[in-house]
Amino acid sequence: MKVLKVSNWTIAAFVLPCLIIYIGLVFVPIGVSVYTSFLDWNGIVPIGMAKHVGFDNYHRMFTGDSVFWPSVRRTFLLAGFSMLIQLPLALLVAILIGRYTRKANFLVSSYFLPVILSVVVIGQLWKTIYNPASQGGMINQILDKIGLHSWTHNWLTDPKVAIYAIILVGLWQYLGYHLLIQFTGIQNIPADIYEAAKIDGADGFKADRYITLPMIVPIFKISFVLSFIGSLQSFDLIMVMTGGGPAHATDVVAMHMYNMSFLSQKYGYGSAVGTFLVAMCLLVTVLINFVFNRLEKRYS
């Protein structure tokens, strides 16, 4: 139960500075985007000259755009892999690091390294891993050497596997990111809880099951939401690795929005895709919040 009762002025002083910058530069633009999503506008002529087309853009997006739905599906694929594989793995490693090492700092920092490096580097590195054997690609060369030639693939240009190849890179790159967050969360659990549990006979994994997991729920939620956002905004990495190709096979929603707004110069249409993205985010965030709030209640 919150105990601080304060005047409205105090609340305003604490919240408004942050809120105003945020609303002015994030929400107002989104408002503009929602508005432009009802226009037939190329983003170049003065906005006043654009024609209002009602829900035309949305109608076309939902029914007449062969790129849109597959890109939505791939976006969720990215998010799903991240949530179901990357996060549990990060949690596991965080627990293990807390348990087995004294110099945790070094490991956590090192694992974080790929996040620091520019996407350009990451993309180039993985391209040399995925390239065809004839171009020096590592995976294919290894497969060839151990006699699994039939397993070799053009990992980044086969429309069926390219998106998974990219997902793997994302999982690898951001493992350290979630590890850092969850490790911080575990460190924040008061040590005396573990001491007390130890006296009660709960040690090792048992302590994790009954103390770490429940106590980490709020932090895990942070990771969860961040991983979802990351997936929705995933753009740079795909841009560097495949550019969305071949023939849109690795397009995600954010990319479709960019392509439509700036390359096809249908800014209005791109805004509709963007608005859809924001709406989808809203929905999923509310959902995640709902689920985690119930989880938190159950454990506290």
Partner 1 sequence: MNRSATLQGAKPAVRSPKKRLPVAKTIVYIIFGILLVTQLYPLLWLLIYSLKTNEEILSGSFFALPKVAQWVNYKNALGGGKYWDYLTNSLLVTTVTMACVIVLASLAAFAITRFRWKYGQYVMLLFLLGMMIPLQATLLPIMVIFSNMDILNTRLSLILPYIAFQTPIAVFIMSGFMKTIPTEIEESAIIDGAGVLRIFRSIVLPVSIPPIMTVCILTFINIWNEYVLAATFISKESLKTLPFGVNSFVSQYSVNYGAIGAFLVLGALPVIIIYFLLAEKITKGMVAGAVKG
Partner 2 sequence: MKNGKKVLGVVTVAGLLAASLSACGSSNENDGNSAASPEPSASASASAPASSPAASESSGEKVTITFQNIYPDSSDPKYQMLHKIVSDYEAAHPNVKIELDSLNTDQQKLKLKTQAASKEVPDITIVNPKAQMQPFVDADLFAPLNDMVKQNGLADTFQTGILDPYTFNGNLYALPDGNNIGVLYYNKSLFQQAGIANPPTTFEELVADVKILKEKGITPLAIGEKDSWTGSFLFMNILLRTYGPGFLQDVTDGKTTFEDPAFLEAVKAFEDLVKAGAFQDGATSFDYNAGENLFKTGKSAMYYMGSWATGGIETAEVSKDGNVGVFKFPTVGGKGDPDEYMLAPGSAFAVSKNSKHLNETLDFLNYFMLNYPKELFGLKGAVGLAQKVEGDFKAAGYSDMAVTVLDLFKTVKGGDLSFDNTMNPATSQVHLSSIQNLFVTPDTDPAAVAKEHQQAYEDNK
Please report, as a single letter, which amino acid is at residue 15. V
Determine, following the binding rule CB under 8 A, whether residue 121 of this chain makes contact with partner 2. no
Q: Least Å distance between CB 69 and partner 1?
A: 19
Chain mean position to CA 72: 14
Question: Do 121 and 130 contact (CB within 8 A), yes or no?
Answer: no
39-40 vs 51-52, strand pairing mode: antiparallel
Q: Least Å distance between CB 248 and partner 1?
A: 17
Question: Do 231 and 167 contact (CB within 8 A), yes or no?
Answer: no
Among 53, 61, 91, 93, binds partner 1 (CB under 8 A): 93
Chain mean position to CA 254: 12
Q: Least Å distance between CB 129 and partner 1?
A: 6
Among 3, 5, 9, 102, binds partner 2 (CB under 8 A): 9
Q: Is the dihedral of CA 192, 195, 199, 200 positive or negative?
A: positive
Tell me the per-residue interface mask from 25 to 54 with partner 1, x by CB under 8 A, - otherwise: xxxxxx-xx---------x-----------
Q: Which stretch binds partner 2 (CB under 8 A): 170-178, 209-217, 261-269, 271-279?
A: 261-269
Q: Least Å distance between CB 153 and partner 1?
A: 16
DSSP string, 109-163: HHHHHHHHS-HHHHHHHHHHHHS-GGGT-HHHHHHHHTT-GGG---TTT-TTTHH
Cα separations in angstroms, 199 against 16, 186, 213, 214, 216: 47, 20, 19, 19, 22
Determine, following the binding rule CB under 8 A, whether residue 45 of this chain makes contact with partner 2. yes
Determine, following the binding rule CB under 8 A, whether residue 2 of this chain makes contact with partner 1. yes
Determine, following the binding rule CB under 8 A, whether residue 248 of this chain makes contact with partner 1. no
Distance CA 19, CA 253 (A): 27
Q: Least Å distance between CB 35 and partner 1?
A: 9
Among 37, 173, 231, 242, binds partner 2 (CB under 8 A): 242
Tokens of residue 86, six digits: 């990357």
Residues that bind partner 2 (CB under 8 A): 9-10, 12-13, 16-17, 20-21, 23-25, 28, 42-48, 127, 130-132, 134-135, 154, 156-159, 241-243, 245-249, 259, 262-266
